[in-house]
Chains A and B, each alone.
Chain A
Amino acid sequence: MLYRESGQFSTSYLAEGRLFKLYQQRWGFYALLAFAFLAVPYLGNDYWFSAILIPFLVLSLAGLGLNLLTGYAGQISLGSAAFMAVGAFAAYNFQLRIDGMPLLLGFFFGGVTAALVGVVFGLPSLRIKGFYLLVSTLAAQFVVTWVLTQFGWFSNYNSSGVISAPPLVILGHDFSSPAGRYLLTLGVAAALFWFAHNIVHSELGRRWMAVRDMDTAAAVIGIPILQTKLLAFAISSFILGIAGALWAFAYLGTVEPHGFDLSRSFQILFIIIIGGMGSILGNFLGAAFIVLLPILLSNLSATFLAGVVDPGQLENLQKIIFGALIIFFLIKEPAGLARLWQAFRERSRIWPLRF
């Protein structure tokens, strides 16, 4: 037994709703947070920050946004990248056009703008369901990239539609070093994950799942379907929007509308399929997988197949592996890596016993 849970009981309804009911888990989580905030900035190097940790955190956040909509509220979307684009370009313009706009407030307004756009493209969800809704989200994908490319105002008339990061300064502290950008991303991600965790464990989260599992029954017990769905679109897009702003400013530095194309939307969908739909933790696991697999593959081929496989072939191979993994997960573990982790935890509670 790695840890004991005997003698620990929830004594109030609120305590029962906690993220970690056992103090061992709670302390473990605090230790992890402290490690991520205090130790990693000193231990990591620039490669780790820029190529692994920052994209990992931003993609976790994007996965979270989509997971609220698809995994919790049951509305499938292929337009995630569009809402990221809206967030990025809106945050850029708020920063650019309003003097003295604080960085984080700009991110927030970027998220709010994405939420509004999300609501617009979520409106058809009242009339149309399931696959037909794909059309609405794909429309978002194509309309948004077109608008951002077509109208120069959004990129401040940059000839190729590229926007660049504003100075990453918060309260006089400069966050533009790799470690700083990592801390900025980590802070925003931690806050939004806390926000999302609270939502899915509240009445709204229950309503989302009710609409997901059976919307007719949800309507019959009095759940306002349209409002519930639109809130899912809004909050999902809000998080995706902020993820988009981080993607543009903390990860890439400069970005063009086509950086948020359909393949990015697919990537985010794959994160939640592999990580686990309807799971908060799954977003981290799925994002870690998506970020690490290509690196692992290219390292492996550099070691074992040096000169045999060219980069183009490697990319094709990677596609095949991703596709096969998606199908594998759907067949073998529809609840994704999060379920595997949960199973591992169950085992570790009673280890070395088997039952």
Chain B
Amino acid sequence: MEFFLEVLIGGLLAGLMYSLVAIGFVLIYKASGVFNFAQGAMVLFAALTFVSLLERGVPFWGAFAVTLLSMLMLAWAIERMVLRPLVNRPPITLFMATLGLSYIIEGLAQTLWGAQVHGLDLGISDEPFEVAGLLLSQFDLFAAGTAGLLVLALSLLFNKTRVGISLRAVADDQLAALSIGIKLQKVWMIVWAVAGFVGLVAGLLWGARLGVQFSLSLIVLKALPVLIIGGFTSIGGAIVGGLIIGASEKLAEVYLGPVIGGGIENWFPYVLALLFLLVRPAGIFGERAIERV
């Protein structure tokens, strides 16, 4: 039983790390309807930039600020060169554009900073410690706390600031938002920049966990089933989806793995997400639109 709980809690905490990537994705999907496959590449870009600056002797917060600035510039460039020319195109076209975008960002990150693996130490030990008789990872707890703070900050941004309110207006109805004078392009840029910031946070945590390397870009593949379960449009859904995926993935690995063989964590979330879809075709929190004809 204790072992089960440990696995479960470990899974839940790891799931929040997936949620972090998924949140950036949800932001962009909500505000611009773009299914952003490049979110993983953005995580890689942020982490690689940050760690390379650190290694060149830039202090932590300096590196953080410069990386954030470069994410802003990236958002600006994306809005200018990709989103604006593709406005009013079908969603599938925008999705494919983000595939291209992920290639560009990955290539760019590695051209600038090289392809070798970097270690990243955030000063949080990964030593397990004991809570109520259960061994928990300190790092996982830290990551979970960060995710919580991030969600809090985002909900403040969305609900209390002017920018946030126009953002919600755009998410609700682009045309109506345009007609009351909200600048779509500005909102998009801000959203992509915020998603870039979320990518930076996710990149730091993931980078500290796995080392900063190319495979960070692939965590977008982990975020996808999370989104399917939580729905594309709900930050709360991204959290819950992450918890479900994280927990079931770990449990399956521990209890199912020995039966059918190891390495199932690549496909298990997808099969789980697929099963969810068959029951709820728009995810748990997604709304199914009534098709008007």
Contacts and interface: CB of A to CB of B under 8 A. Distances in A.
Interface stretch (A50-58, A102-110, A137-145, A176-184): A137-145
A229 to B, nearest CB: 15
A132 B281 contact: yes
B268 to A, nearest CB: 9
A322 to B, nearest CB: 5
Contacts of A273: 96
A151 to B, nearest CB: 8
Contact of B101 (A128, A131, A216, A327): A327
A319 B224 contact: no
Nearest to A312: B115
Interface in B20-34: none
B274 interface: yes
A322 B270 contact: no
Interface string A250-268: 0000000000001000100
Interface residues of B, number: 46
A28 interface: no
A130 B93 CA distance: 12
A326 B111 contact: no
Nearest to A137: B270
B100 A324 contact: yes
A30 to B, nearest CB: 36
Given A132-B277, A135-B270, A323-B100, A331 B85 contact: yes
Task: Kindly list the 6 A-B residue pairs having the minimum CB-CB distance in the complex, ordered from nearest.
Answer: A323-B103, A326-B100, A319-B107, A142-B267, A323-B104, A320-B107
B274 A216 contact: no
Contacts of B93: 330, 334
Contacts of B277: 124, 127-128, 132, 135-136
Interface string B204-230: 000000000000000001001100100
A150 B267 contact: no
A269 B99 contact: yes
B130 interface: no
Interface residues of A, number: 44
A319 B106 contact: yes
B97 interface: yes
B49 to A, nearest CB: 15
Contact of B97 (A130, A142, A326): A326
Contacts, number: 123
A60 B111 CA distance: 30
A52 B55 CA distance: 42
A131 B91 contact: yes
Interface in B61-96: 81-82, 85-86, 89, 91-93, 95-96
Q: Indicate the member of A132, A273, A327 with the most B CB atoms within 10 Å.
A: A327
A150 B263 contact: yes
A320 B41 CA distance: 12
B92 A330 contact: no
Contacts of B85: 331
Interface string B269-293: 0110110011001100000000101
Given A317-B111, A324-B100, A327-B97, A146 B86 contact: no
A40 interface: no
6 contacts: A124-B277, A132-B282, A316-B110, A322-B103, A326-B103, A327-B101
Interface string A114-156: 0000000000100111111011101100110110011100000
A350 interface: no
A216 B289 CA distance: 14
A146 B264 contact: yes
A73 to B, nearest CB: 13
Contacts of B293: 216-217, 220
B271 A320 contact: no
Nearest to A74: B92
A266 B101 CA distance: 13
A6 interface: no
Contacts of B261: 150-151
A327 B110 contact: no
A146 B92 contact: no
Contact of B273 (A135, A313, A320): A135
Contact of A146 (B100, B221, B267): B267
Given A136-B274, A216-B291, A330-B93, A320 B99 contact: no
A76 B92 contact: yes
B288 to A, nearest CB: 11
